[in-house]
Structure 1
Amino acid sequence: MSRTCPTSGACSGSSRETSSCNTARCPYWSSWNSWSSCSQSCGSGTKTRTRTCSVTGACSGSSSRSSNCYTQISCPYWRSWSSWSSCSKSCGSGNKTRTRTCSVTGACSGSSSGSNNCNTQRCPYWRSWTSWGSCSKSCGSGTKTRTRTCSVTGACSGSSSGSSNCYTQISCPYWSSWSSWSSCSQSCGSGTKARTRTCSVTGACSGSTSRSNNFNTQRCPYWSSWSSWSSCSKSCGSGTKTRTRTCSVVGACSGSSSDSDDCNTQSCPYWSSWSSWSSCSQSCGSGTKTRTMTCSVTGACNGKLSS
């Protein structure tokens, strides 16, 4: 402890007095013990050693020490992971995997494969169907439709529309079966034959109540053109001339295959009556007398003009 002099430097004796205290030995570390075995049997590990304090917890510093240690054996080790595989799904949470190999088969701890979620976004999906539409028919059997939409346009499989049969309580007007064909209106030369049907409710069916069709379209038998007129059977005095034609189907044409007409109807040249005898050229001794006739067409009559 210390004291002070009222008059600095004038007092005898020391201003400080000391006395021993805490004579007990200070806490101290024991010697380090031997190093422990290496923590790894291969490759690089650590070894430790310890010491103890004479008064637990009273020594400064660490009670343990470690150091690297190395073996002459290379430890088994995992090689690098492979690249991730393709995702097992394109949407809706699939998996992708990767693998690795151990340098010494079976000696590495841990798994040789790893997996992870991928493409976790929701897949395109169909929204709810709309209500059914009205029936396409007001009577009989029709169809009704409904639709749905995809959350991603064009990405959903399946159809965006559906249909179903629908039935009303009303029977639709309907056509009866067609009647048999009528006889053809002509036996050749394109005639027609017809058939009819009736509607269960008069005037309510669409379409025609009758149908016709051409039949017997083959050409009817026909006469060829008339041939040229033949020569007249007489040169005068009313003769006849003829012409002919042929039927395309022998015996099938109506009418005659020949035709005739008058020709050269003018009178033939003719001699007039004889004139009276002339006087005798001699009064005796054998004379001659004559008489004459004339032709109606000069020079056209046969025979003598006189006798």
Structure 2
Amino acid sequence: MCGDCSGRSSKTGECAPAPCEYPRATCCGTRTKIIVGSTFECSAGDDSDPPPSTLCAPSCCPSSGGYWSEWSDGGACPTSCGSCSQKTQRRVCLSPSSCPCRGADSREVNCGIGVCYFPLDSCCAGFSATVIDNAHACGPQPNYTTPYAPYDPTCSETCCAETGIWSEWTTDPMQCRDYCGSCGNQTKTRECLSEANGCPCAGPTTLTEPCGVGVCYFPRLSCCPGFTATVINNAHACGPLPTQVAEPEKINTCGVDCCPSAGIWGEWTTAIACNDTCGSCGTTTRSRVCLSLQYGCGCTGAATDSQPCASSVCLYPRASCCPGYKKTIDVATKSFFCGPLPTTPAFNPEQTTCCDPENIGLWNQWTAWTTCSASCGGCGTQTRNRTCASEPYGCPCVDDKVETRICGQAACTTGTPCCSGKYLATGYDGAQYCQANTPEVCPGTWTAWTAAPGATCNDTCGNCGIISMQRYCFPSGCQCSGAFTSQQPCANSVCLFPRASCCAPYKKTIDIPTKSFYCG
């Protein structure tokens, strides 16, 4: 049987929205005259309730707290444009008093954010005309986020992470069968660790995807047959790569008793590059991700931020600096710039003990790989780094901050092909390269012989010519017996006098269907 109803049992609403006639004020209080349809009305206050709920009292109370309703709309906006006003949105706690909700039950949100038309200013102070969700609006607008706490009708005494708890991925084969060109595939497998406790996982258990997707260098083909050189994630790679189903956002509110006061943000990254080159005329946009949202704790502040960029002085015929900026000298470097330069507030996060429930910390994204320290033999290494986003808040991370891998895997053409501890392997095209582990033993299959790229016959008749041929062994990294290249006779048409009809050991032969001679 369900418990008490949520929300108010009675309320007082506004009425008579028509504007008053002189000498009365047109609209009462903070209400303003707006157009609704084709008539004038006075704007309304917050007269809305959160939507009704059919939730019965749950059999358990999550450690993250009770269940909130959706936010109410907040009623009509006092103003119709310019992002000049705010309205109050409310929500109610749907669970009984034995399972109280955490967080505020009301919030102020900007409303009427559309751009105003002349003679009004486009936007109120603090906002400027931009595009939000493909519509002209006044921004930037805050990112209104709330803790993730959905009602789960199958709730039991066992608290489950929303996406389950996965093991780390393992790969088979352990190393890629080739190091470039998208020539190899690897299958990743993982196990749902929480399933034994009655908590299923969301997402695939296996993924098969190309490996070694970087572009190969001459004399190898750039990419394996079926792939072409392109740019993927701002790096040269061989594609197209298969589209993988996006992983569900990791959400685990089990055991969460408190939240950081402002959440835990990831680092800022550039979302839109600078759109100009000088004069502080450009704008760049950066973004960040609320990492603590994965355990039900929202963040305070904006997820995106735009700042002026390209502060160097423009050359004639452009004005030195755009309006609002002046040519200024930097005494230290003895150079000019268009100032003032944007300022970045100091990063002083509030210390907290409200860390992630797994106590493994929250990481920022990996940086790009560094340049390889060697060009061949698998002698080189390259590294990438990541920083612990939650550490400045008082929540240290578990696992490595630096990752290293071997590189420069093309076999050396002078001296020893591979560095000590590396193993020589052969690609689909006969190119040799070096691997960290013993090459996999697997039978390959030859393709048909084809003319080598750019090869032409060096004669015109009698099977007297020679042409360079090649064939490929697939899968790359597996073994085929025989040669990858050969020289084969070509130009089998019969030669005319005074040349002999055919070069030895070939003889003039007739093709009955076409009634023509050839050297065979």
TM-score by length of 2: 0.20
Greater Rg over alpha carbons, structure: 1
